[in-house]
Each structure stands twice: as C-alpha cells, then as structure tokens.
Amino acid sequence: MNFMPNSPTARDIKYHIHPHTNFRQHEQTGSLVLTKGEGVYVYDHEGNKYLEAMAGLWCASLGFSEKRLAEAAYKQMLELPYYHTFSYKSHTPIIDLAERLVELAPQTVSKVIFQTSGSEANDTAVKLVHYYNNSIGRPEKKKIISRLRAYHGTTRTAASLTGLPNMHKFFDLPLPGILHTSTPHHYRNAAEGESEEDFATRLAADLEKMIVEQGPETVAAFIAEPVMGAGGVIVPPRTYFQKMQAVLKKYDVLMIADEVICGFGRTGNMWGCETFGIQPDILVCAKALSASYLPISAVLVSDAVYQGIAEGTADGGPPFGHGYTYGGHPVSAAVAVETLKIYDEIDMIGHVKSISPLMQNGLGQFRDHPLVGEVRGVGMVAAIEVVEDKASKKAFAPARKIGPYIDNLARQNGMIVRAMGDSIGFTPPLIMKPAEINEMVEKIGKTLDQTWAAIQKGEI
C-alpha cells in the first residue's frame, strides 16, 4: 500500500517501532492514527469516528474527554510539576492517593508503593515477595506460580509471569523460578460433563500437586487476574478462587491479585477481589486508577508483608533498594485522586451494576450465531469466541486469522475491538450509556454476519 510521503501514516512507518505489532505487516498496511477523543469515541487523522469498545487498552474508564482530569493535571503542573519519593521525601498528592487507596482496598492490605505501569507494578510485587522472604529468613521460598494464558505485563519478570507464548519467544523467557499452572477456562478445558465446581476442584488439585512437587518451602506466591484479560477474557469457574486460596493457605503461599484490568469497577464491584472472593496479600492496580489519563500504578501490601520487609531495613540496615524516578509522580497522583473523586460523585459502581446487564445480555444474544462458540463476561468486560464448528467447539486454523479479520471489519464498521486469537474482547469505558451499548452490540452483530457470509462464500 502506498502512502503520501509526509502523511502521518508514512512517517509512523518510517520512524516508529510499535509494541505488540508485526513489523513487516506494519510496513505494508500502516497503523490507525488517532487524533481526537470525545466521550466513548475516538477519531482518526482522516476524521473517521470509532466507538472505542476496548477503552484503549482496557483502561480509559472515563472515556476520552474528561476535562476535570486535564484541569487537575494542569493545576498540579503549576504547583509542583515533579518530585520523587526516595530517601524520606514525599508530596501531598501521593499521600492523599495512598490514604484513599488503602481506604478503598480490601481489608487484607494496608500500605502502598507507587510505580508507573502495570508491568512495573507486577515486577515490583515479585521483588517485594523475594525481599520479604529473605528478610524473614526463608531464602529458598522464592518461586512464583502464574497461569497459562495469564497476562501480567512486559518487563522481563512480568513477561515471565505472563503465560502467552508470543511473550516469551525470542526473549529467552520465562525466567527461572516462575511456573505456570492450568488455565481456568471451563469452555475449553473442562472434561465432558464436568461442572464448573468440579473443574475448579481439579484446578486446585493441579495447583497443590505443583506446589508439592516443587517443594512448599520453595514456593512463595501465586499471582492471578480475577478475570484473565489479554488471555481472552477468561471468567473463573464457580468456587475457583475459594478452592485455590485454600491450597495457598495450606502451604503458606502468598496471594497476589493482579487488578490492573479489573480494579475500579470493571467487574461490577470496586475490585475483582470482591466479585470473586479473593483475599489478597498483595494487590496490584493501574489503568483505571487514573482513568489512564496519566501513567501510574500501585502495589498494595498486607501489614504482615510490610512488617517483614521493614525488618530488612531495621537496626541500621541498608535502605530499601527499590524505586523508579517517576514512581508516584505528583501530576499522575493528582489526576488519580481526582479520578477517584469522580468515581464517588457519579456512583460509578452503581452505574456499572445498572448498565452491565444490558451489555452482557446484548452480547449474549450472539450465542446462537452460527459463528460463535462462547460468549463470556462479567460487569463491563466480555469476549465472544468464534469457532469453525459449534457442536465440537473446533477452532479455526490460526493461519486463517479469523479473529484479526473480525477486528479489521469491526473497524470498517466504526468500532474498535480487540482480537485475542479468535476471541473478540470488549471493555468499553465505564461511562457508557444505554444507547452506546446498543450501538456496540449492533456493530458487532453486523460484523459477525458479514464475517459469516465471507466464510460461506469461501472468501476467507
């Protein structure tokens, strides 16, 4: 495809390396260049309008034009545009944010350290676990168990926690000491006739077997998203986390809840932990913390974990050797504080509870579509998985790239979704109105019908 030499697309191809992108394909097709956001819509450089059904990267909870957040950033830029929190320094925005986060968080956590991204936060969580066990005299207890199809970020440690093959290929990952247990996807992984509860029992047994085989004295923590995001929006089977946590408690293994996607209302409660009965020792959040208007993330820890880490710095010991220049940036913190105020003022949780049935029922109607194998979701996060054969659940051959075809076709129809293999994801801004939900459902319905017609004609 030829582009005008000085067009944004041509310049993007010439100079810019994109994350999670096939570079050779990018050289041929270019990228979607966005220039404006308004409510739940975004616009490209040619003026085309798109319903943003993924809220960017699962994250723009308040949409793309909340002026109060811009004003909060501007005000803080004028007062104190930057400071750090190293070596006994602090500033009021980060203190205000830490206090409010602990008030909102599950009662099992009590203190918070700030980073700039979900990847950094999950990387930090692992460092904290290692430091904690070294500090309390358990230097062998370091292994972290994640799950196949999990997504926890792209730093070397976070990418190792991630259970997706493309995140490891050519990167020499995963790192030693990081393991992956079974994916809790009942539709794909349950035995014939196995109930959700029985499936959860089997997954807990898989976890226990792994801990015993590795040696409980070497296993430090289990990390899990309440709802798996980039792995395909996998909602856990009933009783899953209760049974998994019983195993963790039995072997003194910490529970890390990765709330980067699920936190701040996405599942219908403030935290996915509330929705699924998780009691975290460490909770990681980002994305909707600032509605993603500025980068910020947080790691909340239990008092027991904090006290263990603090002992490592006691009696004149060395200071805690971790931190980032922009961790707890005052402008990002001020925007996050304002974001949390807005959530309270508009009763975001109540809104999600009222609007999410419209979304789940609207997408759920496609279970009868000849192309659809499963529709799954909770709150304001969902996925439609397309299959070649409904009865056998046979997947399309990856080379056919049906998911990417749907992704591209949806864009032509004026909506941005995300294809994760042949699972099409939806995490729209939490401020969606009924008419916008209906528009989203209508557009994906049209896209599925067009895709089915193309398959029937042998065009794809």
- What structural domains does the chain harbor? 32-65+347-456 (3.90.1150.10), 69-345 (3.40.640.10)
Residues in contact with 312: Cβ distance below 8 Å, sequence separation at least 6, in sequence order: 131, 134, 135, 320
Supply the pLDDT for residue 2: 75
Q: Which residue, chain included where needed, has tokens 């499963």?
A: 374
pTM of the predicted model as reported, rounded to 2 decimal places: 0.96
Between CA 169 and CA 175 the distance in angstroms is: 12
Q: Which residues of 72-101 are buried (b: 16+ CB within 10 A; e: fewer)?
A: bbeebeeeeeeebbeeeeebebbeebbebb
Supply the pLDDT for residue 376: 98
Residue 222 has, within 13 A of its CA and on its CB side, a CA count of 28
Supply the pLDDT for residue 421: 95
Which segments of the chain have a pLDDT < 50?
none
Contact indicator for 163, 174 with CB cutoff of 8 Å: no
pLDDT digits (tens, 9 = 90+) for 299-325: 999 999 999 999 998 876 788 999 999
Between CA 377 and CA 410 the distance in angstroms is: 20
